[in-house]
Amino acid sequence: MSRNSKTLMNRQYYLDAVLLPQGWARGAVVTVSEAGRIARIEIAPPPLVAVPPPGAERIGGYVVPGMPNAHSHAFQRAMVGAAEYRQSKQDSFWSWREAMYGLANRIQPEELLVVATQLFVEMLKAGYTSVAEFHYLHRQANGAPYAGNNALWEAIGEAASIAGIGLTFLPTLYQTGDFGDKPLKKDQARFALEAEDFVRLIGERVQADRRRGSGTQRTGAAFHSLRAVPISTLAAVAKELAGINPALPVHIHVAEQLREVNACRRANGKRPIELLLKTGLINAHWCLVHATHSTVKELQGIAAAGATVCVSVSTEANLGDGAFDAARFLDMQGHLCIGSDSQVTVNPAEELRWMEYQQRLRRKRRAVLATDTEPHVGTRLWRDAAIHGAQAIGQPVGAIAAGRRADWLVLDPHHPSLAGAAADAALDHLLFAGGHAAIRDVMVAGRWVVRHRHHDAEAALGEKFANLMSRILHPQAPMHPQVTPEN
């Protein structure tokens, strides 16, 4: 049992205002099971909506589904802000990658535990209640495999347990340094896994998940990219993974950079997404991360397959990747979700705001991603990203509905950013009025993990994280001195 697990009795909550799949409701009575799942939702007719049943906990404010974070590299939280200086006029994703490799080759399991715990607390306070961790740190710093349990993998699971966030752990296959089966470089050695070991380890973890029966943690799988996994290997391994569990979440970075697209075409005669679609493997359990440089035909193929696309507008902008054509993909009924990726922004409201703003700049009009049936941009984007994020991570979250996990955010209607906002405009304020500061309480699996904007792990984490960052960013500098408060 994790340190955050508790025996929960069935509980009732009276929600003053809640976003349900069918729209906003007032006076909803929600029953949550011992396992943290929503068992029943009852909406009383007026005037009974103002009368909570005896024993129910009343939740004032606007209650909305917690957001799944469909793409995260936790260790990269340790370099946020440290690569924002010019080395040359040609700085790009590829020069940033060298700095990232430096961090990846220094960080140790005990350090990853601190970084990931800090990050997961930040995610919860910002509105992410579950995360897909796309993890390709597999070996010791000297390139040797771990004997027994993989300490780097264990650090991520322990961090999620401490923070209380839902986790889909995605061990990631990484075998080649570039297209054409080029060998891994020295600074990529820590990422290496053999295909047979990868399949075996995924199988063992899936079996362990079944025995453990966790309501908040599960295993999926990822292929780093078509640069790092040849298409023939990907196809063979994907079929074996489907044999382990046909519903296994499978993620892959794809078409993030034009250089990648052009190199794939030279090596394989096809663009990366085109190549993936040709395998016939892509289905509703796959998540294509970035897909920044997609053709109309490729977008149609992804939408037809029912797969999700995960964008991280903050990372894609930070690295100069380009802008995904969200408006076109959503018009195709495509399934779009969001992630924090490199952690330059750990804020789902900001990701969604800039998704809309990119489309406004491109199309030179407003409210581009609203629809006739949902004119509120904030509601449309939050609702859709939450439900499709749940699809991507393979967890029963993303909506406040019977059978789903009770992962909720409570927005404070008295916060200045929500001042005067009616319920149906609350998510517009969350996205476009700096409303993330109005997230007052956060629940995961029926347990409050943030109350009144405070997480219990914050106090213990602060000094550990500060000292660790000093060592990581300034290896030769002394650690922060201990400060004794004056009387």
Catalytic-labelled residue, pool 71, 253, 290, 388: 290
Q: Tell me 181's DSSP state.
A: T
Contact between residue 355 and residue 345 where contact means Cβ atoms under 8 Å apart: no
CA distance 351 to 312: 7
Contact between residue 420 and residue 431 where contact means Cβ atoms under 8 Å apart: no
Where does residue 434 rank: exposed (0-12), middle (13-18), buried (19+ CB within 10 A)? middle
Taking each helix axis from N to C terminus, what angle separates 151-163 and 109-126, rounded to the nearest 10 degrees?
A: 30
CA distance 11 to 32: 5
Q: Which of 109, 168, 97 is nearest to 141 (CA)?
A: 109
CA distance 464 to 462: 6
Read off φ and ψ for residue 182, nearest 5 degrees. Answer: -65, 140
Q: Which residues, 6 or more positions from 212, have their beta carbon under 8 angstroms from its beta carbon? A: none
* Residue 293: active-site member: no
Give the three-class secondary structure for 130.
Answer: strand
Contact between residue 388 and residue 336 where contact means Cβ atoms under 8 Å apart: yes
CA distance 135 to 235: 20
Find where tokens 């330059």 sit.
Answer: 344
CA distance 121 to 430: 19
Residue 469: Cβ within 10 Å count: 21
Number of H helices, E strands in the chain: 14, 16
Q: Which residues, 6 or more positions from 290, have their beta carbon under 8 angstroms from its beta carbon? A: 253, 254, 255, 256, 310, 311, 312, 316, 321, 324
Residue 287: Cβ within 10 Å count: 32
* Residue 187: active-site member: no
Catalytic-labelled residue, pool 16, 321, 325, 341: 341
Cis peptide leading into residue 47 (ω within 30°)? yes
Give the catalytic positions in this structure.
290, 341
